[in-house]
Structure 1
Amino acid sequence: MIFFRVVAALVLVAVLASCGGPPSKFRTYKGPEVTHVVVYKTARRMDLWHYNRLLRSFDVQLGGNPFGHKQHEGDRRTPEGDYIIDRRNPNSRFHLSIGIDYPNEADKARAEENGWKPGGDIFIHGRGPRFQQARGDWTDGCIAVTDREMEDIYAMVRDGTPIRILP
């Protein structure tokens, strides 16, 4: 009899433990494939596309110096041009993030020609705990959305997806 009570208590503890806790930041997506991403810097908007069908749009915040193409490390500009989503960081200090393959070969050549370091670590990311109240363009060159929106983007956009960042 004691054995059955111990087993019942352990089952009850396991059931209760699985019910509690914060919701997961990892979401699932079963819709159409995101075939490309387009960022419109002037409009502060990012669109996720399945070929010629718009799937989702997001308001974005950019680098603290949002005008013009990223030239070098520390200029706080968001790059412009064609890139690829090439990595993801589930443990980002900005909640979640997906990486953009900046600098590409042209960016590296331009920086070298001018004696600059091109910079790097450009991501689409959430806000994380530190930047929940951030207003305006506040990143060091990244593309920022809310944490909840980043959960959807992280689920929808795969590594290898092209991204075009327009002025």
Structure 2
Amino acid sequence: MTIDRRKFILAAPALIAACAGPQTLGYDGPKVTSIMAFKSQRKLYLLHGNKALKTYPFQLGFAPVGHKQFEGDGKTPEGTYIIDRRNPQSEYHLSVGISYPNARDRAFAAAHGRSPGGEIFIHGTPDVVAGRKDWTAGCIAVTNPEVEEIYAMVGDYTPIFVKA
């Protein structure tokens, strides 16, 4: 069987896109200047100045009350961090990284002879846990369509404020 050149040229972009992982949306609206996450309300706000551009409900770590202190404690960090990385190949659809642990978090854990943990993200939700409440190991989980919007709207170095 032969593939004619025109069919190959037309099919190549689709093949490349299929290998690239989840597709992300484009965004050309106002810049997201900060993110506010209120754990007790389970609400995440993408802000431009003091105006909310988008609001999302979310799920937390399996031990949702209190600030993350140690690896494996199931808590979601509280405090001021930045978005410091993104993962288009995340096990949880897409994800943007939160800069936990900061220097204070590392010092506290070290003073107790423990690891602070890490790898905290805003990420999507695998089908296996959809609908379960507070199931992550400390991350902030939103739906897959929501994380696609967040991934497109939020740039690296955006501050994120996580409150109780």
Q: TM (normalized to structure 1)?
A: 0.87
Cα distance in 2, alignment partners of residues 134 and 73 from structure 1: 25
Distance 1:161 1:11 in 2: 44
Structure 1: gaps spanning 5 or more residues: 1-5
Note if 1:40 corresponds to 2:35.
no
**Residue 49 of structure 1 pairs with residue 47 of structure 2:** yes
| Greater displacement, 38-47 / 16-25 | 16-25
**Amino acid corresponding to residue 86 of structure 1 in structure 2:** D
Which among 112, 136, 155 is matched to residue 152 of structure 2? 155
Give, in whole Å, the separation in 2 of the partners of 1:13 and 1:162.
44
Question: 2: distance between equivalents of 1:34 and 1:136?
Answer: 27
Change beyond 3 A, Cα 1:48–1:140: same
Contact 2:81/2:102 (<8 A) preserved: yes
CA distance in 1, matches of 2:25, 2:6: 27
Query: 1:44-90: CA deviations, max 9, x gaps?
Result: 01000001111000000000000000010000000000001000001
Alignment correspondent of 1:78: 76
Residue 3 of structure 1 corresponds to: none
Structure 1 stretches of 4+ moved >2 Å: 9-25, 128-131
Once the two structures are overlaid, the 10-residue window that deviates more, 148-157 or 23-32, is: 23-32
Answer whether contact 2:69 2:105 (CA < 8 A) is retained: yes
Q: Distance in 2 between matches of 1:142 and 1:66?
A: 10
Indicate the RMSD between aligned Cα atoms, in angstroms: 2.2
Deviation of 1:16 (Å) = 6.4
Residue type at the aligned position of 1:151: E
Distance 1:14-1:130 versus aligned 2 partners, 3 A rule: farther
TM-score by length of 2: 0.88
1:145 has 2:145 as partner: no
How many aligned residue pairs are there? Answer: 160
**1:27-49 deviations in Å (ceiling 9; x for gaps):** 10000110000000000010000
| Contact 1:125/1:145 (<8 A) preserved | yes
Q: Structure 2 vs 1, CA of residues 102 and 16 (structure 1 numbering), >3 Å: closer, same or farther?
A: closer
Shift of 1:130: 3.9
Q: Computing the radius of gyration over CA atoms, which structure comes out larger, 1 or 2?
A: 1
Q: Measure how far apart 1:114 and its partner are.
A: 1.4
Task: Give me the identity figure in percent.
Answer: 48
Q: How do residues 1-167 of structure 1 correspond to structure 2 at under 5 angstroms?
A: 10-12=5-7, 14-15=9-10, 25-131=23-129, 133-167=130-164
